[in-house]
Structures are given as structure tokens and as C-alpha cells.
């Protein structure tokens, strides 16, 4: 099993140089060379909003499960989680660390901490699933009619994938048993006292921020996407990150972009450049402020320990 994981990680990373060779390297270099600094700045700012909203969603979810934490702690830990998810295999290593670091010493705290992380991620996945379905349907409703015949297979495959995910969640015995066992937690987090309004509102804003960053990245690569096109193909690129290859979705996301961008009249090189810039903006927006947050936290702890803080 461990060998398969190593092979999958290597295959995902190998995809990147192969994609560079498969597209026009000169066009890729041109698309990456002309990135306006303003685009990078705006994208990195949106990443901060994204992390803040995600941390608030986690804070809300944890409080609903009787596992309260300070908002500042939730924000700090979410930065660390984001850094680890983007730089380590599996894409969930950061979430595991977040659950561990947020668990307390009291009996059962680790269970509530783990449930809070799992259900917080579930909230985001449900919103992302909804966006993917709406995006696939937008091919038919919003895009030029002459592009629709070539995309019926894509639409059918996407909807089949969504149905498969839903069916698996209902039919696979462990997942069904887990849902029944945690029904009170699910009710508290997603339904009781209109929790769905807060969960839904935060998750929709967060998912929209992912699309916005990809839009900016594509525009920076010289391929401005129409809004309909953005909500049709960007969710599919993000969905490709769930394929268990590479690290943090690198490789599979770029492969999807190289295939999908030509459907909107752009080149594979521009799609690849857009995806690379999206990854760079997301990583920079998470890592650089995250290091600052942890540096400030460490300094504050040292000052308190030394008796300097007031």
C-alpha cells in the first residue's frame, strides 16, 4: 500500500514536466512571464479572506459540537493546515494535524476535535459538489450552442461522477454506519437552530473565492475567462485535485486545465499557466502570512514566558 502511494505521488509530480513538454513551452513561458503584480496581490488578499472564512466555519462547527476554541486559535491552525495540505501527500495531512493540535486533555476531546474537522470539511465539499453540478449544467444553459454537442460526454461523465459520490456515501456500509452514529452531530452542525444558513453561507463564499482566484490566475496568464466558462470548467479543475496522485493536487489540476481551456478557445499552454499560477497564488497566500502568524504567536509566547508581556 505504501509503495502504491509513493508511485501515485511520483506519477503526479511527473505529470508537470510532461505537460510542459506536451504544450508549447515557449507559449507557457510567455504566459508566465507577463503576470501583472496587481493580479498576484489581489489573489493573495482573497486567499486571506478564504482562510479567515474557513477558520470561522471551523470555529462555528466546533462550537456546535461542544468543543469551543478561540477564533485566533482557529485562524492560526488553519494557516498551518493549509500549508501542510498543499505541500504534503494525501491533501489531508494538514487536517489531521489540525484535529490533533485542537484536541484538549479532557476525555473525549480528541473525538470532538476530529468530528469538528471532518464535518467542517464536509460542509465545504457539499458546497463544492453543488457548484460542480451547476457548472456542468451551465454548459447547456449559458455557453454558445455550437459548443454543446462536443460537451455532452463531459456533462454525462461529470453527473455520473456526482451520482457515484452520493451513492457511495449512502450505500457504503461504513459511511452509512458513521452517518447514523453521528446523526446528532450532523443535526447540530448542519440543521439545528438554522445552522444550515451559516454553514451554507460561509461555504458558498469560500468556494466562490476558489473560483475567483482561478479567474485572476487565468487572466494573468492572458486567458480571461467568461463568467459562465469560469463556473463551468474551474470546478472541474479543482475536482481533479481530489485524484490521489502527486502532492496537494499539483499535476492532476494542471492536466485538467490543459484539457479544458481549449474548450473556451484558449491554448493548453494558457490553461497550464493558469493552473500553475493558481497553485502559486494559493501557496504564497497561505505560507507567507502563515509564517508571520506563527512567528507572532511564538514571540507572544516567549514574551509571556519571560514576563515581558503586560
- Asked whether residue 18 is domain-assigned, the answer is no
- Asked whether residue 21 is domain-assigned, the answer is no
Tell me the whole-structure pTM to 2 decimals. 0.83
- Asked whether residue 167 is domain-assigned, the answer is yes
242-268 tens-digit pLDDT = 776 767 788 888 988 998 898 888 999
Among 214, 205, 239, smallest CA distance to 55 is for: 205
For the beta carbon of residue 123, count every other beta carbon within 10 angstroms. Answer: 25
- Asked whether residue 33 is domain-assigned, the answer is no
The domain containing residue 253 runs over which residues?
A: 41-297
**Alpha helix (H) residue ranges in 88-143:** 93-102, 109-141
- pLDDT at res. 125: 85
123-147 tens-digit pLDDT = 888 888 888 777 777 666 655 555 4
Query: For residues 203 and 199, what is the distance between their CA atoms, to the nearest angstrom?
Result: 6
Structurally, the chain folds into a number of domains equal to 1
Cβ atoms of 227 and 262 within 8 Å: the answer is: no
- pLDDT at res. 46: 97
- Asked whether residue 35 is domain-assigned, the answer is no
- pLDDT at res. 308: 41
- Asked whether residue 215 is domain-assigned, the answer is yes
- Asked whether residue 11 is domain-assigned, the answer is no
Cβ atoms of 74 and 288 within 8 Å: the answer is: no
- Asked whether residue 64 is domain-assigned, the answer is yes
Q: Which residues of the chain have pLDDT under 70?
A: 1-2, 4-12, 90, 105-108, 138-182, 244, 246, 294-310
Amino acid at each position: 500500500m505504501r509503495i502504491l502511494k509513493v508511485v501515485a505521488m511520483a506519477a503526479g509530480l511527473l505529470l508537470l514536466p510532461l505537460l510542459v513538454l506536451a504544450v508549447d513551452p515557449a507559449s507557457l513561458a510567455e504566459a508566465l512571464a507577463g503576470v501583472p503584480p496587481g493580479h498576484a496581490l489581489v489573489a493573495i488578499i482573497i486567499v486571506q479572506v478564504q482562510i479567515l472564512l474557513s477558520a470561522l466555519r471551523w470555529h462555528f462547527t466546533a462550537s456546535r459540537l461542544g468543543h469551543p476554541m478561540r477564533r485566533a486559535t482557529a485562524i492560526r491552525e488553519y494557516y498551518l493546515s493549509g500549508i501542510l495540505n498543499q505541500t504534503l501527500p494525501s491533501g489531508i495531512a494538514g487536517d489531521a494535524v489540525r484535529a490533533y493540535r485542537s484536541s484538549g486533555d479532557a476525555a473525549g476531546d480528541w473525538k470532538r476535535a476530529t468530528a469538528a474537522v471532518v464535518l467542517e470539511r464536509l460542509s465545504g465539499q457539499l458546497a463544492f459538489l453543488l457548484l460542480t453540478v451547476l457548472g456542468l449544467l451551465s454548459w447547456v444553459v449559458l455557453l454558445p450552442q455550437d459548443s454543446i454537442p462536443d460537451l455532452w460526454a463531459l456533462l454525462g461523465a461529470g453527473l455520473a461522477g456526482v451520482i457515484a459520490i452520493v451513492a457511495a456515501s449512502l450505500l457504503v456500509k461504513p459511511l452509512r454506519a458513521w452517518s447514523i452514529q453521528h446523526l446528532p452531530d450532523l443535526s447540530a452542525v448542519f440543521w439545528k437552530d438554522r445552522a444550515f444558513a451559516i454553514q451554507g453561507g460561509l461555504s458558498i463564499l469560500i468556494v466562490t473565492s476558489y473560483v475567483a482566484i482561478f479567474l485572476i490566475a487565468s487572466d494573468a496568464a492572458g486567458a480571461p475567462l467568461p463568467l459562465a466558462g469560469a463556473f463551468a470548467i474551474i470546478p472541474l479543475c479543482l475536482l481533479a485535485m481530489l485524484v490521489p496522485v502527486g502532492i496537494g493536487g499539483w499535476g492532476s489540476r494542471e492536466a485538467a486545465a490543459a484539457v479544458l481551456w481549449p474548450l473556451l478557445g484558449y491554448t493548453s499552454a494558457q490553461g497550464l499557466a493558469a493552473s500553475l499560477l493558481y497553485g502559486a497564488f494559493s501557496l504564497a497566500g497561505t505560507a507567507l502570512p502563515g509564517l508571520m502568524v506563527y512567528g507572532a504567536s511564538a514571540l507572544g509566547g516567549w514574551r509571556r514566558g519571560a514576563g515581558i508581556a503586560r
